[in-house]
Amino acid sequence: MNNYASNSMNDFPGPSMHGASARSGSRPGQRYAQPIRNAEHAEPWDQISEEHRNEINDCFHLFDMNKDEQLDFSEFRYALQALGFSNLSRSDLIAAFKTTARPRAGWTPLPPMPNQPPPSAAPGVVDLRMSREGFQTVAARYVAARDPREELLKTFALFDRGEKGFITVDDLRSVVKELGEDVPDNELHSMIEQFDVEAKGGVSREEFLGIFDR
């Protein structure tokens, strides 16, 4: 596909995120980060794209309900769900939350009560708060571990209106209209024909994945 098609398909999965990143980013406009040297030694934040970083920051600010630059456990859980991680178990969420969360300001252990078990000397989950940097660390770890093929297949599903199993000219026409672009029909046809190897009238999932494997 031409540059427009490649950019559109790469950028379409979600609304454009323009929130300022609190950390340095990769090259702007790349949803799927380019391979990096010694990736196994790089921090997760350095392995993900600028767009994903902006999405993480936007989710933090959206679910920081009282705008205190911290997330409690419920806010953390909903923020991860908004990023697409809705299948994590509660025990996994709690473990992830505890990795970077710290006791809320002013927390102290409860005083002992007669005839009651001694209170915990450590804060419980409800007493912990996660900073923006802590959320960036945890969310980036999940995003970096996500299968790029799974991401691309989600993108394919957004283009494939009606779940036909392939992307047609009509599908592309709908997408470019939603993006507010004006692309001539002959270019839309050219995009499809270029990768429709079997001349079936649309780009299949396999052909779509092949576009990004080049």
Give the DSSP H/E element, type plus range, for residue 166: strand 166-167
Residues 66 and 134 in one domain: yes
Average pLDDT over residues 22-40: 43
Residues 130 and 180 in one domain: no
Do the domain assignments include residue 115?
A: no
Do the domain assignments include residue 47?
A: yes
d(CA 171, CA 151): 19
Position 35 pLDDT exceeds 60: no
Position 62 pLDDT exceeds 90: yes
Side by side, the strands of the sheet bearing 70-71 are 70-71, 128-131, 102-103
Residues 49 and 80 in one domain: yes
| Count of CB atoms situated within 10 Å of the CB of 152 | 21
Residues 208 and 129 in one domain: no
Do the domain assignments include residue 4?
A: no
Average pLDDT over residues 113-138: 91
Q: Provide the pLDDT confidence category of residue 39 given band limits of 50, 70 and 90.
A: low
Residues 26 and 130 in one domain: yes
DSSP string across 89-151:
-HHHHHHHHHHH-EEPTT--PPPP-TTSPPPPSS--GGGEEEEHHHHHHHHHHHHHHS-HHHH
Q: Provide the pLDDT confidence category of residue 40 given band limits of 50, 70 and 90.
A: low
Do the domain assignments include residue 117?
A: no
Dihedral angle of Cα 182, 183, 185, 187, to the nearest 10 degrees: 170
The mean pLDDT value of the chain amounts to 81
Do the domain assignments include residue 7?
A: no
Local structure of residue 20 (DSSP, 8 states) = P
At 120, list the tokens: 């915990």
Q: Provide the pLDDT confidence category of residue 12 given band limits of 50, 70 and 90.
A: very low
Do the domain assignments include residue 10?
A: no
Residues 44 and 98 in one domain: yes
Number of domains the chain contains = 2
Local structure of residue 171 (DSSP, 8 states) = H
Average pLDDT over residues 143-170: 88
Residues 171 and 133 in one domain: no
Position 10 pLDDT exceeds 70: no
Taking the alpha carbons at both ends of the chain, their separation in whole angstroms is 11
Residues 67 and 154 in one domain: no
Residues 153 and 192 in one domain: yes
Give the DSSP H/E element, type plus range, for residue 173: helix 169-178
Position 212 pLDDT exceeds 80: no
Average pLDDT over residues 183-193: 91
Token look-up 């794209």 returns: 49
Residues 69 and 132 in one domain: yes
Position 119 pLDDT exceeds 80: no
Residues 172 and 66 in one domain: no
Q: Which domain holds residue 194?
A: 149-213
Which of 146, 119, 118, 169 minimizes the C-alpha distance to 56? 146
Report the pLDDT value the prediction gives residue 186, as an integer from 0 to 100.
92
Do the domain assignments include residue 177?
A: yes
Position 59 pLDDT exceeds 90: yes
Query: Each residue of 83-100: pLDDT tens digit?
Result: 989 889 999 999 999 999
Position 76 pLDDT exceeds 70: yes
Its pTM stands at 0.60
Percentage of the chain modeled with pLDDT above 90: 47
Residues 69 and 100 in one domain: yes
Local structure of residue 29 (DSSP, 8 states) = T
* CATH code, 161: 1.10.238.10
